[in-house]
């Protein structure tokens, strides 16, 4: 994670602004986060020692509603990264027209090194530290990297205990039994699938002849891979943090999910004659039609962009392609379906969960999927239309789309032109 990732993120906003006539008030409001906080979380470890963990929460902008964003557990989490993720979330919620702003949080920890009891204590400590910073109508956290429904359930329970009342709407991504929404577990991957599918004709993709490689095989990637496979796309490569496997004849994602659960890593599974192990770097550079980076930020940079052969990149991860790589790939004719559209399914169904918690009325899986598909299809086609109208790349079109909604909300409270006019 580079130190200038936040400045890099803002460059994409400035690029979109060149296509629009907006008030300088909008640029000023979106220049920095509304609020940032760091804390030290001290917990008692199982061996009796006390240990402190750095933790962060950033609320970027709440003009369109309470802020929304995940909490990630990762040893490299830092404030600069969290600010960037909160910035992206602000635009992501606007892209899919949710009544939310953007936020993000994180704890600097390797969760694999903690026992289940230590993980629970740490998760509850996060809520204790940030209890005044979050709330059902202020800031609503959700899962992210290495966090899951059980962790969200602990957090929601801790907040309810602190408030002295049941408050399920404070956290989304919870277990269904604790107020979670059906369809939330596969929402990010499903949303990405819906976007790719609705744009397939415009991208000149036909499932039966389209090859796909997925870098990362976590929650989002596994569900997206399953749906693509069911639709007829040929998944030829997948990876996890330890390595990748490749088969030009195709890989059954359902079998790989089962194998990974049993053997802990894709690279440990029994290999057949037509499946070979490769590196994550080699996976990114395969001659496939669609590449889906679904892990961490900045995996495609100016150092490897020239080697990327995919015709389409679907960003299931946040910020997997940096600005310099963007320009190289666009020049090569690669179409990048940006993260603020491609992975917005997760926050969309998080919104559905929040609504259900607020109303105490819960929907079926089919209702959730239908509502999600309508939103993802509608916004993807609008963004493609903006791309065509402005003759720009798809990422810039998505930022134009989001910025138009953000600027409308910000300008509704008055701008420099309004307050400086003379009678």
Residues 6+ apart with CB under 8 A from 391: none
Calculated CA dihedral for residues 251, 329, 334, 228, nearest 10 degrees: 30
Bridge pairing between strands 211-215 and 335-337: unpaired
- CA torsion sign, 341 to 342 to 347 to 349? positive
Whether the CB-CB separation of 162 and 127 falls below 8 Å is answered with yes
Q: Which of 104, 182, 226, 311 is catalytic?
A: 104
**Two structure tokens written together for 408:** 């409308």
User: Could you give the CA distance from residue 352 to residue 375 in angstroms, rounded to a whole number?
Assistant: 12
Exposure class string for 322-333: b at 16+ Cβ within 10 A, else e: bbebbebbbeee
User: Could you give the CA distance from residue 166 to residue 403 in angstroms, rounded to a whole number?
Assistant: 36
104 catalytic residue (yes or no): yes
**Two structure tokens written together for 115:** 């026992």
Whether the CB-CB separation of 172 and 140 falls below 8 Å is answered with yes
Residues designated catalytic:
104
């Amino acid at each position: 994670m580079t130190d200038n990732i936040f400045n890099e993120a803002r460059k994409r906003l400035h690029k979109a602004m060149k296509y629009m006539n907006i008030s300088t008030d909008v640029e000023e409001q979106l220049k920095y986060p509304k609020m940032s906080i760091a804390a030290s979380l001290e917990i008692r470890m199982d061996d009796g020692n006390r240990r402190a963990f750095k933790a962060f929460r950033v609320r970027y902008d709440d003009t369109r509603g309470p802020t929304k964003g995940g909490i990630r557990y990762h040893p490299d989490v830092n404030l600069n990264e969290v600010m960037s993720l909160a910035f992206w979330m602000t635009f992501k919620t606007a892209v899919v027209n949710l009544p939310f702003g953007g936020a993000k949080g994180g704890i600097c920890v390797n969760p694999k090194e903690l026992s289940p009891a230590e993980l629970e204590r740490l998760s509850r400590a996060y809520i204790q530290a940030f209890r005044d910073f979050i709330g059902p109508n202020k800031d609503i956290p959700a899962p992210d990297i290495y966090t899951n429904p059980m962790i969200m359930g602990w957090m929601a329970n801790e907040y309810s205990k602190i408030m002295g009342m049941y408050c399920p709407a404070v956290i989304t991504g919870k277990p269904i039994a604790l107020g979670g929404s059906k369809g939330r577990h596969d929402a990010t991957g499903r949303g990405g699938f819906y976007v790719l599918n609705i744009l397939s004709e415009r991208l000149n993709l036909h499932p039966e002849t389209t090859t796909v490689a997925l870098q990362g095989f976590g929650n989002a990637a596994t569900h997206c891979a399953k749906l693509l496979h069911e639709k007829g796309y040929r998944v030829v490569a997948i990876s996890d943090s330890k390595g990748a496997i490749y088969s030009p004849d195709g890989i059954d994602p359902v079998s790989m999910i089962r194998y990974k659960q049993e053997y802990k890593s894709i690279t440990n599974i029994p290999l057949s004659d037509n499946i070979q192990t490769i590196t994550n770097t080699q996976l990114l550079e395969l001659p496939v039609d669609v590449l889906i980076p679904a892990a961490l930020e900045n995996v495609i940079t100016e150092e490897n962009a020239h080697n990327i052969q995919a015709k389409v990149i679907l960003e299931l991860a946040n910020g997997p392609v940096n600005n310099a790589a963007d320009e190289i790939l666009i020049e090569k004719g690669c179409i990048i379906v940006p993260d603020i559209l491609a992975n917005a399914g997760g926050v969309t169904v998080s919104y559905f969960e929040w609504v259900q918690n607020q109303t105490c009325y819960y929907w079926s899986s089919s209702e959730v999927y239908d509502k999600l598909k309508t939103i993802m299809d509608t916004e993807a086609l609008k963004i493609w239309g903006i791309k065509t109208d402005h003759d720009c790349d798809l990422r810039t079109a998505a930022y134009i789309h989001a910025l138009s909604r953000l600027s409308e909300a910000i300008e509704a409270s008055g701008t420099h032109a309004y307050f400086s006019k003379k009678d």
